[in-house]
A and B are shown apart, each in its own frame.
Chain A
């Protein structure tokens, strides 16, 4: 049953008086800036509003309520302490335009977060300013371009991207004015070295890689890839989407990467749902240091004491520029800071170990139960892929049907139909924060759905059955896009 929209509950003249702003003196607003007609807003009482949004929130599938094995998204538990500490009044009430001398506590946290991210990635400098993974990518490729330009190397405008890459990688390169050169992946999931060799040349600006890749396997030839790209005069970009798998084990800087973006909302456990707010901090090695986007927190020593301040354009004249007005998503950055301090250096390694152990356990159990692995010869990193291509053909059970049927069994669906290389695939990432009991329950549910199709002829074409809405018509939604409520 669908609830009514809050607009449909609206009654003319109904108010939440206790929430009304005190005073209605608009004398300070010039006539020209005042609106002439009333805005189309719902009119409801305070209790109606509380009930409406509480009910909506109860329908949410979230990491706080259900297992959420969404591959490539690292939906791990967000510890409550991170939230509580980020909301301390000293942080929450700090005015972003307040002088640095009044915000030394906050600036200290941001400086230390920059330092911790440098240490865990093996990079030489970090900027926290990008406010999403995609913006981090944009900053990263913009720095690669700025580097070549500063050297007078104007011809380098090609970015090499493996076909397994996240769709954001070619999009980013294109947004930065580069030409995308796609290279294939070999049958075992590693980059095709010969194809890479022939794609490299005097126009190569760089390569964008995710390691472990979106196929859930570690790129074993990364040292060769780095040497080839550097010898050709290009730079290596690390897409940090899968950083969780290697945390504290191996560092992108040591693999030869020149620039990296980190999704703090994935790896460092800041809230992730609802499209954000995210944080796509970027890290660089020495050769890209001058180009980091601002704001960045710098440290001066005054009479032997550290004093923190924002670096300005005159401090970093070659910077690609200011990407956010203040400090990126400050509240998200604080949560990541608290998380990293709680986990500590040793904890970082355990994150990678348990994320990998959980993924390999799930993979082994599903393979034993008769599901087909996309890369059966490879150990999983923190995620892995199963393909339902045979079930789709023989039993008309598609990846989409399985995903929807899982919702009825109270599990969020894994990522479906990505990476594009693997037909009818599910990309499954359990993360380190789940218990064995949860993983076993998920295996049982997934296997039961597939067995139902194989032995009982059930295809789940109409699933989900128990959700507030049934199977959505995603084709019609795309063809006849209608996203505006017209007040009727």
Chain B
């Protein structure tokens, strides 16, 4: 996701219960131990209106930082990388017909995939909302 995402508006409020990556993805730890992943508002805004989302298969094994999904807008196609290693337990099938859900509600209806992590998620590798906000501010000189 890095490529086209350097510098854009960073005004939107970041949900406080999520963790973030430098690749502009968010993670939410669910009660059952799984982790839900999507792309941030900054990412969807920089990509523009999405027209296609390629989702992984259920039970697919993911390597950390390996390719997980593809989001395509009229401007560009971008890989979405898996922020953690694990197995895909659920994908947001509705995105196949309505990729614009990611634009409209990136932290809610626009979630992309739910992963069962293969190891404990190390928060140190991820950013808090405050850290991610500073990261966005730094991009935007």
Please list the residues of chain A having a beta carbon within 8 angstroms of any beta carbon in chain B. 163, 389, 392-393, 417, 420-421, 423, 474-475, 478-479
Task: Select which of A389, A393, A417 is within 8 A of B75 by beta carbon.
Answer: A417
Instruction: State A392–B9 Cα separation when bound (angstroms).
Output: 9
Select from chain A the residue with minimum beta-carbon distance to B75. A417
Is the beta-carbon distance between B4 and A423 smaller than 8 angstroms?
A: yes
Chain B residue nearest to A418 (CB atoms) is B76
Question: What are the residues of chain B within 8 A of A420 when measuring CB–CB?
Answer: 3-4, 76
Residue B7 interfacial (CB < 8 Å): yes
Nearest residue (CB) in B for A399 is B75
Mask, B87-101, CB within 8 Å of A = 1, is 000000000000110
Residue of A nearest to B97 (CB): A479
Say yes or no: is B61 at the interface (Cβ < 8 Å to chain A): no
Query: Chain B residues with Cβ under 8 A from A417's Cβ?
Result: 4, 75-76
Pick from B30-38, B44-52, B125-133 the stretch touching chain A.
B44-52
Contact B74–A475 (Cβ < 8 Å): yes
CB atoms of A393 and B49 under 8 A apart:
no
Q: Chain A: which residue is nearest B67 at the CB level?
A: A180
Residue contact A475 to B3, C-beta cutoff 8 Å: no
Interface: B8 (CB within 8 A) = yes
User: Roughly how many angstroms separate A479 CA and B99 CA in the complex, as a whole number?
Assistant: 9
Which residues of chain B are within 8 angstroms of A479 by Cβ–Cβ distance? 51, 99-100
- Asked if A423 meets B52 with Cβ closer than 8 Å, knowing A389-B7, A475-B74, the reply is no
Q: Decide if the interface of chain B is mainly helix, strand, loop or mixed.
A: loop
List the A side residues contacting B4 at CB < 8 Å. Answer: 417, 420-421, 423
Q: Which residues from A are CB-within-8-Å of B46?
A: 423
Please, could you name 28 A-B residue pairs with CB atoms under 8 Å apart, sorted by A?
A163-B2, A163-B3, A389-B7, A389-B8, A392-B8, A393-B8, A393-B9, A417-B4, A417-B76, A420-B3, A420-B4, A420-B76, A421-B3, A421-B4, A421-B6, A423-B4, A423-B6, A423-B7, A423-B8, A423-B46, A474-B74, A475-B49, A475-B51, A478-B51, A478-B52, A479-B51, A479-B99, A479-B100
B74 interface neighbour in A393, A421, A478, Cβ under 8 Å: A478
A360 vs B8: C-alpha distance when bound (angstroms): 28
Minimum CB–CB distance from A296 to chain B (whole Å) comes to 36
| In the bound complex, CA of A387 to CA of B103 (Å) | 24
For the complex, what is the distance from the CA of A389 to the CA of B6, rounded to whole Å? 10
How far is B48's CA from A417's CA once the two chains are assembled, in angstroms? 11
> How far is A193 from B73 in the complex, measured between Cα atoms in Å?
31
Interface of A is mostly: helix
Provide the bound-state CA to CA distance between A392 and B49, in Å.
Answer: 16
Chain A residue contacts of B75, Cβ below 8 A:
417
What is B's interface to A at a CB cutoff of 8 Å? Answer: 2-9, 46, 49, 51-52, 74-76, 99-100
Beyond A423-B46, A474-B74: 15 further Cβ-contacts under 8 Å?
A: A163-B2, A163-B3, A389-B7, A393-B8, A417-B4, A417-B75, A417-B76, A420-B4, A420-B76, A421-B4, A423-B5, A423-B7, A475-B49, A475-B51, A478-B74
Closest chain B residue, CB of each to CB of A167:
B77
Set of chain B residues within 8 Å of A478, measured between Cβ atoms? 51-52, 74
User: Which residue in chain A gives the minimum CB-CB distance to B8?
Assistant: A423
Give the distance in Å from the alpha carbon of A117 to the alpha carbon of B8 in the complex: 44
Closest 5 A/B residue pairs (Cβ) = A478-B51, A475-B49, A420-B3, A474-B74, A417-B75
Distance of A106 Cα from B99 Cα, bound (Å): 53
Q: Which residue of chain A is the closest to B46 with respect to CB atoms? A: A423
By beta carbon, the residue of chain B nearest A398 is B48
Set of chain A residues within 8 Å of B51, measured between Cβ atoms: 475, 478-479
Task: Report A-chain residues with C-beta under 8 Å of the C-beta of B99.
Answer: 479
Please indicate which of the listed interface residues B2, B5, B9, B51 has the most CB atoms of chain A within 10 Å of its own CB.
B51
Bound-state Cα–Cα, A158 to B23, Å: 23
A215 and B109 alpha carbons, distance in the complex (Å): 37
CA distance A163 to B75 in the complex (A): 16
Give the distance in Å from the alpha carbon of A163 to the alpha carbon of B46 in the complex: 17
Query: CB-CB < 8 A to A389: which residues of B?
Result: 7-8
Chain B residues with Cβ below 8 Å from A423 are 4-8, 46
Please measure, in the bound complex, the distance between the C-alpha atom of A392 and the C-alpha atom of B8, giving whole angstroms. Answer: 9
User: Complex: how many Å from CA A364 to CA B8?
Assistant: 26
- With both beta carbons as reference points, the residue of chain B lying nearest to A392 in the complex is identified as B8
Query: How far is the CB of A374 from the nearest CB of chain B, in Å?
Result: 11
Shortest A16–chain B CB gap in Å is 40
Find chain A residues with CB under 8 A from B5 CB. Answer: 423
Task: Note all chain B residues with C-beta closer than 8 A to A393.
Answer: 8-9
The docked-state distance in angstroms from the alpha carbon of A295 to that of B51 is 41
The interface residues of chain A lying within 8 Å CB-to-CB of B7 are 389, 423
